[in-house]
Amino acid sequence: MKKFRFALVGCGRISSKHIDAIKNIPDAELTAVCDVIEERARSCSEKAGLNKYYLSYDEMLKNEEVDIVNILTPSGLHPEHTIDIVKKYRKHIIVEKPMALKLSDADTMIKTCDLNSVRLFVVKQNRYNLPVMKLRSAVENGDFGRIFMGSVRVRWARDQKYYDQDEWRGTWKLDGGVLANQASHHIDLLEWMLGTPVSVMAKTETYLADVEVDDTAAAIIKFENGAMGIVEATTATRPVDLEGSLSILGEKGSVVIGGFAVNKMETWNFTGQSKEDRDKVLKEYAENPPNVYGFGHIRYIEHVIDCIRNNKQALVDGLEGRKSLELINAIYESAETGKEVELKFKPRRSKLGS
């Protein structure tokens, strides 16, 4: 069976997750890597067991046979890199989260991929955490009855050293605050469980980090089905990470997934369930995956291959990835204006990407 050939653009922190995932998938092969910082490109290539590296994606894609390009550059550069690569080389794209910062950029990415007949996949690997998939199946089965509330809490610790390690971090233009970066996974999960948001009220603050973006945010979201969503997110937790959690409450049940990275089933209560059923789920989904990144990158890339090979609908394509970006922009706009923001909206005051 055909092996899919991957190339990485960007050899920073997240690149090792992509290298490990590709190595562990029999149908996948890592062909090339590039970074504008030579030391990073070299060490990434060594880690991947390649005997070469590139300092520009043009040089890489002119010289290498590649099916899929993984865009792992700073968030605000994803649109420029995706659009340029698709227009020039017509490759399928896996782009790290968030797909973009500005909604208009996300739209151009989607349109460019469509016009060039290539697929666009946005990495949301936490959707593959086993407790999250278990929760999603309960939502799909209607086990909660009417869902009336969903909450996410991201209480992570990112100190000044974290923000200072790269110039793009903590900037509106290339990173965005805790909502666009760290909590974008959790906001995606909240929407995946609760459906379409219709409006949002929010406040953001910068408490402990010396950065232009927020390090703390609180938002209340109203969903189309009448449910209320709560987002509490901060990177100012000290001295260490506390939790990354998701709770869903319905008329017939309550589920809480906690841990550091929505990876531990903490509560699984449904009306009429037996103690054995509850204990079984709590035991089976106790802590899985075992770290903050999850093992979702493998699942995600396997899914990408399956979608391309069998022409299947992607779990998170450009349009699906755009949904949480729209909500995040609306949250920032509400924090900026002090007003409730209705979706679908055209951002005017969101600072993201500017």
Binding site for ligand NAD (CB under 6 A): 9-14, 34-37, 40, 57, 72-75, 77, 96-97, 123, 125, 166, 181, 293
* Residue nearer to ligand NAD on the CB measure, 10 or 347: 10
Q: Which residue lies nearer to ligand NAD by CB, 176 or 250?
A: 176
Nearer to ligand NAD, 92 or 97 (CB): 97
Nearer Cβ to ligand NAD, position 166 or 302? 166
Residue facing ligand NAD at closest CB distance: 12
Q: How far is the CB of 276 from ligand NAD (least distance, A)?
A: 35
Q: Which is nearer to ligand NAD, 72 or 249 (CB)?
A: 72
Task: For ligand NAD, give the closer residue by CB, 123 or 249.
Answer: 123
Residue 98's contacts (CB-CB under 8 Å, 6 or more residues apart) are 75, 78, 176, 180, 181, 184, 321, 324, 325, 328
For residue 2, the 8-state DSSP code is: P
Would you say 4 and 27 are in contact if contact means Cβ atoms under 8 Å apart?
A: yes
Question: In the chain, what is the greatest distance between 2 CA atoms, to the nearest angstrom?
Answer: 62
Residues 6+ apart with CB under 8 A from 283: none
| Least distance CB 111 / ligand NAD (angstroms) | 21
Per the CB < 8 A criterion, the answer to whether 123 and 301 are in contact is: no
Q: How far is the CB of 34 from ligand NAD (least distance, A)?
A: 5
**Minimum CB distance to ligand NAD smaller for 258 or for 289:** 289
DSSP one-letter string for 63-104? HS--SEEEE-S-GGGHHHHHHHHHHHH--EEEEPSSS-SSHH
CA 14 to chain centre: 12
Closest distance of CB 114 from ligand NAD, Å = 22
Cβ 9 to ligand NAD shortest distance, Å: 5
Distance from C-alpha of 51 to C-alpha of 42, rounded to nearest angstrom: 9
Listed in order, strand segments (DSSP E) in 123-236 are 147-155, 197-205, 216-223, 228-234
**In the complex, least distance from residue 44 CB atom to ligand NAD, rounded to whole angstroms:** 9
Alpha carbon 67 to its chain centroid, in Å, reads: 22
